[in-house]
Homo-oligomer: A and B are copies of this chain.
Amino acid sequence: MPDDQLMHEEDEGTIILKRTTVYNPPRTFRSWLIGRPLSTADAPHQAIGKAIGLAVFAADALSSVAYAPQETLVILAAAGTQAFGYAVPISIAVTILLAIVTISYQQTIYAYPGGGGAYIVSRDNLGEIAAQTAGAALLVDYVLLAAVAISSGVAQIVSAFPTLYPYRVELAVVLLLVIMTINLRGVRESGITFAIPNYFFLVMIFLTVGVGFYRYLTGSLGVVVDPPPLEVGQALQPVTLFLILRAFSNGTTALTGVECISNGVPAFKEPRSRNAAFTLIWMSLILGTLFLGITFLLGQIGAVPSEEETVISQLARTVYGGRGILYLGTIVGTTIILFLATNTAFADFPRLSAIQAGDGFLPRQLTYRGSRLVYSRGIVTLGVIASLLVVVFRASVTALVPLWAIGVFLSFTLSQVGMARRWWKIGHLAPEQEIQERGSILRYHAGWGSRMVVNGFGAICTALVTIIFAVTKFRDGAWIVVFLIPGLVAGFFAIHRHYKNLAQLLSLKRDGIRSHINRHRVILPISGVHEGTIKALHYAHLLSNDVTAVYVSIDPNEADAIRQKWEVWGEGVRLIILDSPYRLLLEPLLEYIEEITAQRQPKEVITIVVPQFVPRRRWHNLLHAQTATWLRLSLLFRPGIIITDVPYLVE
């Protein structure tokens, strides 16, 4: 070990050396695919402004204009095309809800300058159960966001290129895996790589809506030429309150992604909270405008919701009078924003699961950052589950939506309730008092009452939507999520219990250092007397003077031969021959070892030294009975036994 790499420290007689590993990452397929490993020191630290912030955090929210109007129409279609008239009032209701949620979340942004997602807000204000519920709802949500956004993106592509329709599932899975790989490489969320496609989408969609309104006002808009066929059930349903509520539930998917900015406050330039809040308001204004505008225009052109051609495609080709360059630009912009929304899921899922794992509610491995400094295990987990969903639900947005937004609104609710509770706590502080919580600092604030009302009202509205969603969509698939979330929460607590118990049991403070070992027995199972065994015997001798060799005899003649050989080569060590009338090898040995361990004293240790044959070539393993491996596997779970493999290699 070269000394120049070492830093020498000596405290209280214990030598502690420190060295940095000089590691030359090998060039493998993996490093070609996801890039060369990054050192921990390479982690980026970069702050973003409002314009870029809008681009980075808005993709999720804004992309919902691609599917929310369509999914509203899908439900109304069950009552026939004349029911489409309800779409505009429904979208007005959704927009009002959006305004309420935006105002409510603005307060969260100021309260949590360090980032205030539903998980953190719930954890600090409502306790572990609420926090884990929010965590479960959000994780389920991110998975569904990835599946819905990629499916909707593929639906846009398929609208422009109908020949691809039969391959939409394959296309969606491949694109998911591509986005997964990009995320494994590590995406710098900040930067113009995000801003350009985002603003391209905004320009294209505003142009489409703008031209659409211009043509509507000039009376030249017309209706969709050759619309896709309307898929309805056998009989037209009447327009009931239940149907309207179902359509409203689908429309609320427009609100997904609004919470993004509250998570990402630390990424903004100072004044962070101000910049973030400003961005949130702009985003909501744009989203509301687009959602209302698109829904209105769809009604005017007589668009038909369909899996074969999205309503965005129908709108664009009606507005532009055909599939020209502007039509194509609109579709490309919409598709890209949807892929960016998918990407958001790949950023948020691993981050949240790492936070939960750090708190001990998910496997610790999720906190481990991979070679590219990203939470690679979380990314791969999301990619796999989302791909499965896409395959199971045949990349159909309509089929996926009922599973989705229930988690979104549950987390909205928990977050707003948490905020209301926080204002209550603040209102009951002394004027100069400060309390440091894990996610933020509590200071007295005179306006706590009105602010509590704002968040409380937000909570009540989103709770109502959650219930409406769960009830009206229950049979369409919401039941899966209704049962899944409590199941996940139970799982999180089971994991937490395990880590807590383990930490307690392994704690060194419990009863000081345990007594030292004063007897060491070594058992050496042998399959014959040869160089490998004798090498193991020498090693066994090194460990203790109390060595017992054990041989299991199936054939009496062989046992005689072993006895004679042992007398010559056994160096006086005791040999026990276990006769095995049923020709079993492992069981007599295990029985013998069990007998020995049963008599074990508290300060006694038993070591089994297993001579293990290690062949030169892999296939040679097939020519050996692998008793050593089986022995090891059988003994690994028995207390008080230590297993040592003494390999003998054939060079």
Cα distance A25–B517 when bound, in Å? 36
Chain B min CB distance to A442 (Å): 26
Cα distance A11–B565 when bound, in Å? 12
Task: Tell me if A530 counts as interface (CB < 8 A to partner B).
Answer: yes
Query: Could you say which of A373, A510, A620 has the most chain B C-beta atoms within 10 Å of its C-beta?
Result: A620
Chain B min CB distance to A580 (Å): 6
Chain B residue nearest to A620 in the complex (CB)? B498
Beta-carbon contact of B623 and A499 below 8 Å: yes
Beta-carbon contact of A14 and B582 below 8 Å: no
Interface residues of A in 566-619 (CB under 8 A from B): 566-567, 569-570, 572-584, 587-588, 591-592, 595-596, 605, 607, 612, 614-615
Beta-carbon contact of A584 and B23 below 8 Å: yes
Beta-carbon contact of B636 and A41 below 8 Å: no
Chain B min CB distance to A290 (Å): 42
Task: Tell me if A235 counts as interface (CB < 8 A to partner B).
Answer: no
Q: What residues on B are CB-neighbors of A475 within 8 Å?
A: none
Contact of A644 among B11, B538, B575, B642 (CB under 8 A): B642
Beta-carbon contact of A17 and B517 below 8 Å: no
Beta-carbon contact of A645 and B647 below 8 Å: no
Cα distance A516–B542 when bound, in Å? 9
Q: What residues on B are CB-neighbors of A510 within 8 Å?
A: 531
Task: Tell me if A48 counts as interface (CB < 8 A to partner B).
Answer: no
Beta-carbon contact of A531 and B517 below 8 Å: no
Chain B residue nearest to A357 in the complex (CB)? B623
Task: Tell me if A425 counts as interface (CB < 8 A to partner B).
Answer: no
Chain B min CB distance to A534 (Å): 7
Beta-carbon contact of A648 and B20 below 8 Å: no
Task: Tell me if A1 counts as interface (CB < 8 A to partner B).
Answer: yes
Beta-carbon contact of B534 and A14 below 8 Å: no
Known: A40-B554, A508-B530, A531-B510. A650 touches B23 (CB 8 A): no
Beta-carbon contact of B506 and A583 below 8 Å: no
Q: What residues on B are CB-neighbors of A323 within 8 Å?
A: none
Contact of A508 among B14, B534, B612, B622 (CB under 8 A): B534
* Tally of contact residues, A, Cβ under 8 A: 104
Q: What residues on B are CB-neighbors of A483 within 8 Å?
A: none
Q: What residues on B are CB-neighbors of A579 within 8 Å?
A: 18-21
Beta-carbon contact of A643 and B642 below 8 Å: no
Q: What residues on B are CB-neighbors of A365 within 8 Å?
A: 625
Interface 1/0 per residue, A533-552 and B, CB below 8 Å: 01100110011000000000
Task: Tell me if A38 counts as interface (CB < 8 A to partner B).
Answer: yes
Cα distance A649–B13 when bound, in Å? 31
Cα distance A148–B290 when bound, in Å? 74
Beta-carbon contact of B517 and A505 below 8 Å: no
Beta-carbon contact of A371 and B582 below 8 Å: yes
Q: What residues on B are CB-neighbors of A574 within 8 Å?
A: 14-17
Task: Tell me if A182 counts as interface (CB < 8 A to partner B).
Answer: no
Beta-carbon contact of B37 and A582 below 8 Å: yes
Known pairs A506-B648, A517-B538. 16 more at Cβ < 8 A? A13-B572, A14-B570, A19-B577, A20-B579, A25-B582, A368-B554, A368-B625, A370-B583, A498-B620, A505-B650, A508-B529, A508-B530, A508-B534, A514-B538, A517-B539, A644-B644
Please name 27 pairs of A and B residues whose Cβ atoms are closer than 8 Å in the assembled complex, sorted by A: A14-B575, A16-B574, A16-B575, A17-B575, A17-B576, A18-B579, A19-B579, A20-B578, A20-B579, A21-B579, A21-B592, A23-B584, A23-B591, A25-B582, A38-B582, A39-B581, A40-B583, A363-B623, A498-B615, A498-B623, A505-B531, A507-B531, A508-B530, A508-B565, A612-B636, A643-B645, A644-B644
